[in-house]
Structure 1
Amino acid sequence: MRVRERIRAGDREAFGALFDRYAASVHSHACRLTGDLSAAEDVMSETFLAAWRTREQVDPEGGSLRPWLLGIATNKARNHRRGVGRRLAFLARQPKPKETEDFADVSAERLDHQRELAAVRAVLDRLRQPEREVLALCVWAGLDYAQAADALGVPVGTVRSRLSRARTRLRGLAGEHLARERGETAQGRREPRRGRGEVGGRAASVALPGEGGPR
Structure 2
Amino acid sequence: MELSQRARLRAGDQGALGELFDTHAQAVYGYALRTLGNWAAAEDVVSLTFLEAWRLHRKIHDGDDDLRPWLFGIATNVLRNTTRATRRHRAAMSRLTECRSAPDFADELVSRIDDSAQLAAVHRALPGLRRSEREVFRLCVWVGLDYASAAEALGVPVGTVRSRLSRARARLRSLAEHELTQGREPARTIGQVRGGGFEAARSLQEEIR
Shorter-chain TM-score: which interval?
0.7 to 0.9
1:10 and 1:118, CA in 2 relative to 1: closer, same or farther beyond 3 A? farther
Superposition deviation, residue 112 in structure 1: 6.0
1:35-50 matches, cutoff 5 A: 35-50=37-52
Matches of 2:178 and 2:17, distance apart in 1: 45
Partner of 2:159: 157
Matches of 1:126 and 1:92, distance apart in 2: 21
**Runs of at least 5 residues in structure 1 that lack an aligned partner in the other structure:** 97-105, 185-191
1:1-215 matches, cutoff 5 A: 1-92=3-94, 109-110=108-109, 120-181=122-183, 192=185, 196=186, 205-206=203-204, 208-209=206-207
1:67-86, Cα deviation, whole Å (9 max, x unpaired): 11111111111111110122
Matches of 2:37 and 2:121, distance apart in 1: 9
1:13 and 1:89, CA in 2 relative to 1: closer, same or farther beyond 3 A? same
Superposition deviation, residue 63 in structure 1: 2.9
Which letter does structure 1 place at the counterpart of 2:123?
R
Whichever of the two has the greater Rg, that structure is 1
1:135 and 1:44, CA in 2 relative to 1: closer, same or farther beyond 3 A? same
Superposition deviation, residue 197 in structure 1: 8.2
Aligned length, in residue pairs? 185
Q: Is contact 1:171-1:208 (8 Å) kept?
A: no
Q: Is contact 2:120-2:187 (8 Å) kept?
A: no
Which letter does structure 1 place at the counterpart of 2:204?
V
Matches of 2:109 and 2:171, distance apart in 1: 29
Which letter does structure 1 place at the counterpart of 2:69?
P
Matches of 1:121 and 1:156, distance apart in 2: 26
TM-score normalised per structure 1? 0.75
Superposition deviation, residue 146 in structure 1: 0.8
Superposition deviation, residue 124 in structure 1: 0.7
Q: Is contact 2:173-2:208 (8 Å) kept?
A: no
Q: Is contact 1:26-1:73 (8 Å) kept?
A: yes
**Runs of at least 5 residues in structure 2 that lack an aligned partner in the other structure:** 99-104, 190-199
1:123-172, Cα deviation, whole Å (9 max, x unpaired): 11111111100000011111111110000001111111100000000111
Q: Is contact 1:35-1:118 (8 Å) kept?
A: no
Identical aligned pairs, as a percentage?
49
Matches of 1:4 and 1:111, distance apart in 2: 34
RMSD across aligned positions (CA): 3.1
Q: Is contact 1:34-1:40 (8 Å) kept?
A: yes
Higher relative contact order (CA 8 A, sep 6+): 2
Superposition deviation, residue 120 in structure 1: 4.7
Q: Is contact 1:25-1:141 (8 Å) kept?
A: yes
Q: Is contact 2:122-2:175 (8 Å) kept?
A: no
Matches of 2:83 and 2:164, distance apart in 1: 20
1:172 and 1:94, CA in 2 relative to 1: closer, same or farther beyond 3 A? closer
